Structure 1
Amino acid sequence: MTGGTFCVSNLGLTRVEHFTPILNAPQIGLLGIGRLTDRAVRNDAGAVELRPFVGLSLTFDHRAIDGAPAADVLTTICEEIEGIGS
């Protein structure tokens, strides 16, 4: 790969739910996407229901970006997936 800055690594078709992707130069960020699973969560009424869950990992180069803006990127991705940002 040449000239890359941000990459996505998807292990969603495997049994891997979470993983830590490793950067390769010249990348400054890498989003790792794990397998989609169902998780039991409490809804607003206090009842337990199953909801889809996917593990996301963001690896980034601290020389290029600080932790807070990187966390904001991951938060925005989560909100878009959950439909909050719509």
Structure 2
Amino acid sequence: MSSLLTDRRTRGAVAAFTTSALAFGGAAAMLGAQPGQASSHREAPAILTDPQADNTDVYAFVSPDRPGKVNLISNWNP
């Protein structure tokens, strides 16, 4: 009987610790979250000499008309 009681206490302690750790981790993640920002490669040495090679955006998504195909869209600096 005592081993059953110890086993229940151990599981309860592990569950409490896990719940606390997840709550703390979630709170820390939300407090440290920053809004997303686009990357800029304009500072790269090769792009400074050839600005037309600098792509600004790339989008990829499954075609709504043809589910077996992927659409790619890319924007480039003029």
**So what's the TM-score if we normalise by structure 2?**
0.27
Which structure features the higher share of helix residues? Answer: 2
Instruction: Pick the structure with greater CA Rg.
Output: 2
Which structure features the higher share of strand residues? Answer: 1
